[in-house]
Amino acid sequence: MLQIRVKPGIEDRIRGFFPWVYRAEIASYSRKPKKGELVVVRDFGGKFLGYGYINPEVSIAVRILSFDKTKPVTPDLIKERIKQAYEYRKKLYINSNAYRLVHSEGDLLPGLIVDVYGEYAVLELTTYGMSQFKDVIVESLVEILNPKGIYEKLNTTAEKVEGLKVKEGPLYGSVPDEVVIWEHDLKFLINIPEGQKTGFFLDQRNARRFVRSLVEPGDSCLDVFTHTGGFALNMKKMGAGRVVAVDISQLALEVGKENEKLNGLSGIEWVCANAFDFLKELDKKGEKFDVVVIDPPSFAKNRHSVPNALRGYKELCVRGLKLTKPGGYMAIFSCSFHITEQHLLEVLTSASYDVKRQVRVIAKTFQDKDHPWILQMPNTLYLKGIWVEVV
């Protein structure tokens, strides 16, 4: 097996269970590495640190799957990890038939995402190394879940960065274009082939539950970057009067409209528009809302894009605060690891100065427990939301 040694000073972080080795941190190879092959990671003096796989063509060259010298990376280890992930989810008692079964590094399976939608599973591979285990992953999912179908989604970042070639489609059984799931007392239509990510933003389950505690019957509510109406439907379900849901994707909005009918709800205003432009228009009209939720896509794919991303968040916060009634509530989210909770707080503070509004932080929400956050791997905490009351 290929052996690598890391540069002096890197070993402490790895011994602390950080599973990435950057290409620039590698001191030497026992031979020329091949993309996707298994590797033993050693410190500069040759002592064992972990087992993983390597892609010498990318910045994060090695991802470690085992820090135990007695547990090399084998198909059996992959199967064991998937089973452990399933057993963990069973303990969570999630009030839904849709959940994340495998959360990459959060389940010690870097490069693998698996979401379950009722009787179907959706698989997403994000690294070349993990793609070498596709057959055993599918075999494990069939054994554990006995699903009607398993569908593989293309991760465009993996295709571009890792050179991973994936043809989207069923890997096992058959998967319909549309699947209905339930979450609490609502149903959602999922378009697996055409939906964003694996089909639905399961990680926002916590926040969708929390928004219900803020909505009073008759409230006026705004859901910005609504996608298929996750927040809007929960607001309407709690008796909100006017609910405006805006997204730039007409396809997503059409699914949102179907979700509204599916739940016997009506009256949501579905708006296809650029969110920044639409918020400006609402501000010009003097519109005001009791609850405003702003859940944008990732503006920061890497640390170099953080300054531009923060300018975008600042504008959204300024517009959102202006549109929130005194005594009303606003939430702002980031789904990028590179935009931290502190970033959001600083942006909110700056925006509140600009609009001359005092805000009171009432809550913070994060990804739900089926998207585990590993303390030694800060990158696994990516979704943060700050909820404020506009005084």
* CATH 3.90.1150.10 for domain 201-390: no
Q: Which amino acid belongs to residue 172? A: Y
pLDDT at 18 over 70: yes
Average pLDDT, rounded, for the chain: 95
Contact (Cβ atoms closer than 8 angstroms) between residue 15 and residue 376: no
> Beta strand 169-173 with 149-153: parallel, antiparallel or unpaired?
antiparallel
At 158 the pLDDT is 86
Fold assignment, 75-179: Transcription Regulator spoIIAA (3.30.750)
CB 63 within 8 A of CB 129: yes
Predicted confidence band of residue 145 (pLDDT cuts 50, 70, 90) = very high
Running DSSP on this structure, what letter comes out for residue 200? S
pLDDT at res. 366: 96
Q: What is the pTM of this model?
A: 0.93
Q: What percent of the chain has pLDDT over 90?
A: 89
Contacts of 12 (CB under 8 A, 6+ apart): none
Positions marked active-site: 335
Backbone CA torsion sign across 131, 89, 208, 105: negative
**What is the three-class DSSP state of 60?**
strand
> How confident is the model over 37-72, as pLDDT tens digits?
999 999 999 999 999 999 999 999 999 999 999 999
Does residue 361 contact residue 386 with C-beta atoms inside 8 Å? yes
**Rounded distance between C-alpha atoms, residue 41 and residue 52, angstroms:** 7
Q: Rounded distance, CA 267 to CA 135, Å?
A: 47
* Continuous H helices in the chain: 11-15, 75-92, 128-131, 134-145, 156-157, 205-211, 230-237, 250-262, 275-284, 306-323, 341-355
Return the DSSP state at 288.
-
Euclidean distance between CA atoms 371 and 368, whole angstroms = 6
* 348/167: higher pLDDT: 348
Contact 207, 386 (CB under 8 A): no
Q: Contact at 8 Å (CB) between 151 and 171?
A: yes
Q: Where are the domains of the chain?
A: 2-66, 75-179, 201-390
Tell me: the pLDDT tens digits for 313-341? 999 999 999 999 999 999 999 999 899 99
Fold match, 2-66 / 201-390: no
> Tokens standing for 99?
């959940």
Q: Which residue has the tokens 């959602």?
A: 188
**Tens digits of residue pLDDT in 374-388:** 999 988 999 999 999
- Band of residue 196 on the pLDDT scale cut at 50, 70, 90: low
Q: For residue 303, what pLDDT is reported?
A: 81
- The class level of CATH for 2-66 reads mainly beta
Instruction: State the pLDDT at residue 116.
Output: 97
CA separation, residue 127 to residues 54, 162, 332, 365, 391 (Å): 10, 6, 30, 29, 46
Write out pLDDT tens, residues 197-213. Answer: 677 899 999 999 999 99
The span from the CA of 328 to the CA of 391, in Å, is 8
Question: d(Cα 6, Cα 46) in Å, to the nearest integer?
Answer: 9
